[in-house]
Amino acid sequence: MKYLHIYQKNMNRYKANIEEAKKSLRVKIGENEWAVILESISHPLYSPERMAGFLDEKYKIKTDRAYVEKIMDMSMLTSPEVRKRESEKVFDRLFLMKKMLDGDEEACQKFGDFIANAIRHSKAERGRGLPAKLLITYMCCADKDLGSEEYSEIPKNYREPYCQRILRDIYRDVAKEMGLEDMTEDIRRPVESPADTEHKEETQNEKDAEIERLNAEITDLRNSLQILETDLEEITENIDNITDEAKNSAISDFFMKLNSSDYGNILDAISFAEGNLKLVRKQKIQIPPLLLNIPIVLKQLLKFLDGVGVRQIDTTGREFTAKYSDLENFNYQGSSYIGDEEKKVYISAPGWRYGDIIISQPTVSEKE
C-alpha cells in the first residue's frame, strides 16, 4: 500500500500512549469487550448464548449470556439484524480505508466523510453507536493486511473518542500527502489525546535552559489537561447510554424472570393459554360461568405486554423443515442432528423480545 507507512506511524503512536491513557480512564473498558465486539462483527447472527460458548471455545474466555448481552447492548449491537447491518458497514469502511491507503483520492474523500459524520453524530447523539470502535476492533484484531497482535492492544484499551482520533489522524495525513481538503477540519473537537501532541509543531527558538524547562512543564500540564478533557468527554458521551442501559436492563431483567423456568415460563404460559382459548372458541365449547373472567384477564395481560413493547418473536405451532445450521437463533429440543440432516420441527414456544433486546429465544421441537 502506498501510504501504509502513514497508517503504521499513527498506530504506533497510539499504541505507545496506551499506558498513559489507561491511567486516566474513568470508565473502564470490559476485559473481554473487544472479543464480543469482534465476533459480533464476524458472526452477527450468533445469539448471546451461542456467542458465550463460542468465545470459550475460541479464546478460552469464560463468560455467560448476560455479559455478552451487556456488551452487545453497550455497543448498540442489540439484535441479529443490527449486528448484520453494522458488520456490513465495517467491511465497507475497511475496504474504503485500504483503497485510501493505496492512493485512491475518491476513497480518501469518502473516508473523510465517514470520519466527519462519525464525530458529528457522536457529539449530537452523545455517543450512541461505535462506528470507529467497531472498525478499529476488526481492523486490528482480524484483518490480514492491517491487523497484528501488536495493534490488537489498541481496541482493548481505547474507547470510541480515541478510535475516532486514530482514524481521523490517519485520514488527515493521507489527505495532506494527496493535497486534498481535510473534510474534518471544520469540526471542532476540542479534546486531543496525548498522542496528538506529536502533530503540533514544536518551537525550537528557546536558547535559555530555564525557558526550555518551563516549556517542558507546560507541555506536561497540557497533556494532563488533554487526558482529563478526553475522560470528561467520554463520560459525557456515555451518560445517556449508561442511563438507557440501566433502564432497559431493569425492564428486560424483569421480563426475563417472568419467562424463566424458575417462575414457570409465565410469558409462554400466557401465550399457550391464549392458544387454548382460541381452540375452545373454535370448537364452540361452552366456558363455565365461574371461568369467564379468565379470558378477560388473559386479554388484559396480552394488552399490557403489547403496550410496554414486549412482542412474540415467532408463532407457536408454526411447522417447517430445518438443518441444525438453520436453528442458530432458536433453542432446539429433540434428538441430535447427524451431518446435514433435515428434520421437521415446530415452534413450541414463541420467544419474546423487548425492543431489540431478546428476552428469550423461540424454542423449536422435533416433530415426531
Condensed to tens digits (0 to 9), the pLDDT of residues 328-347 reads: 889 989 898 888 889 999 99
Of 75-79, 168-172, 284-288, 295-299, the poorest mean pLDDT is in 284-288
Helix (H, G, I), strand (E, B) or coil at 272: helix
- pLDDT value at residue 302: 81
Give 122: exposed, middle or buried? Use CB within 10 Å, 0-12, 13-18, 19+.
buried
Taking the C-alpha atoms of residue 148 and residue 94, their distance in angstroms, rounded to an integer, is: 15
- pLDDT value at residue 95: 95
Q: Order of strands across the sheet with 363-366?
A: 319-322, 343-349, 363-366, 331-333
CB 209 within 8 A of CB 46: no
DSSP code at position 77: -
- pLDDT value at residue 200: 41
Answer whether residue 71 shows pLDDT above 60: yes
Q: What is the mean pLDDT of residues 158-182?
A: 90
> In sequence order, which residues have a C-beta less than 8 Å from that of residue 185 and are 6 or more positions away?
none
> In sequence order, which residues have a C-beta less than 8 Å from that of residue 20 and are 6 or more positions away?
194, 223, 227
- pLDDT value at residue 153: 92
- pLDDT value at residue 112: 92
Could you tell me which residue, 285 or 243, shows the higher pLDDT? Answer: 285
- pLDDT value at residue 310: 86
Taking the C-alpha atoms of residue 6 and residue 18, their distance in angstroms, rounded to an integer, is: 19
DSSP code at position 286: P
Show the 3-state SS of 189-211: CCCCCHHHHHHCCCCCCCCCHHH
Tell me the β-bridge partners of 365: 333, 346
CB 132 within 8 A of CB 163: yes
Answer whether residue 224 shows pLDDT above 80: no
Confidence of residue 205 (pLDDT cuts 50, 70, 90): very low
Q: What is the mean pLDDT of residues 185-209?
A: 46
Q: What is the mean pLDDT of residues 154-182?
A: 90
CB 118 within 8 A of CB 233: no
- pLDDT value at residue 246: 66
CB 119 within 8 A of CB 184: yes
- pLDDT value at residue 109: 93
Answer whether residue 76 shows pLDDT above 70: yes
Reading phi first (left if > 0) and then psi (alpha if -120 to 50, else beta), residue 337 is in beta
CB 52 within 8 A of CB 334: no
- Considering only the C-alpha atoms of the chain, give the largest distance between any 2 of them, rounded to a whole number of Å: 102
DSSP code at position 262: G
Q: What is the mean pLDDT of residues 48-56?
A: 92
DSSP code at position 349: E
Reading phi first (left if > 0) and then psi (alpha if -120 to 50, else beta), residue 131 is in alpha
Of 58-67, 188-197, 277-286, 305-314, the poorest mean pLDDT is in 188-197
- pLDDT value at residue 193: 45
- pLDDT value at residue 185: 76
> In sequence order, which residues have a C-beta less than 8 Å from that of residue 180 and are 6 or more positions away?
105, 108, 109, 112
Q: What is the mean pLDDT of residues 134-157?
A: 93
CB 299 within 8 A of CB 277: no
Confidence of residue 124 (pLDDT cuts 50, 70, 90): low
Q: What is the mean pLDDT of residues 137-151?
A: 93
Q: What is the mean pLDDT of residues 259-280?
A: 78
Please count the CA atoms within 13 angstroms of the CA of 115 that sit on its side-chain side: 31
pTM, two decimals, is: 0.54
Average pLDDT in the chain: 80
Taking the C-alpha atoms of residue 53 and residue 41, their distance in angstroms, rounded to an integer, is: 16
Answer whether residue 316 shows pLDDT above 90: no
- pLDDT value at residue 304: 83
CA proximity to 32, closest of 6, 5, 67, 2: 67
No. of helices (H) and no. of strands (E), the chain:
13, 7
